[in-house]
Amino acid sequence: MPILLEIIATSADDCTVIERHGGERIELCTALALGGLTPSAGLVAAARAATALPIMMMLRPREGGFCYT
């Protein structure tokens, strides 16, 4: 399996920069100071409009652990 250069983005502008500088996949999230949270629908739409790269999204609705019941 080939290794991909995946870079975290927190804005549509980040996505543009990542694509321009050779990134191969984007992980989109917000609130990195909290460990990363799920991006808003608006941010996802803006990121998709800003780049043709594949975008993965963090699904984490709140800070704290990563286990939910």
- Structural domain includes residue 46: yes
**Residue 15 confidence (pLDDT):** 98
pLDDT in tens, 2-42: 899 999 999 999 999 999 999 999 999 999 999 999 999 99
Mean pLDDT over 40-67 rounds to 92
Model pTM? 0.87
What is the DSSP code string of 2-54? ----EEEESSHHHHHHHHHTT--EEEE-B-GGGT-BPPPHHHHHHHHHH--S-
**Residue 65 confidence (pLDDT):** 78
- Structural domain includes residue 51: yes
- Structural domain includes residue 52: yes
The count of domains in the chain is: 1
> Is a pLDDT exceeding 90 seen at residue 50?
yes
Q: Are 27 and 57 in contact (CB under 8 A)?
A: yes
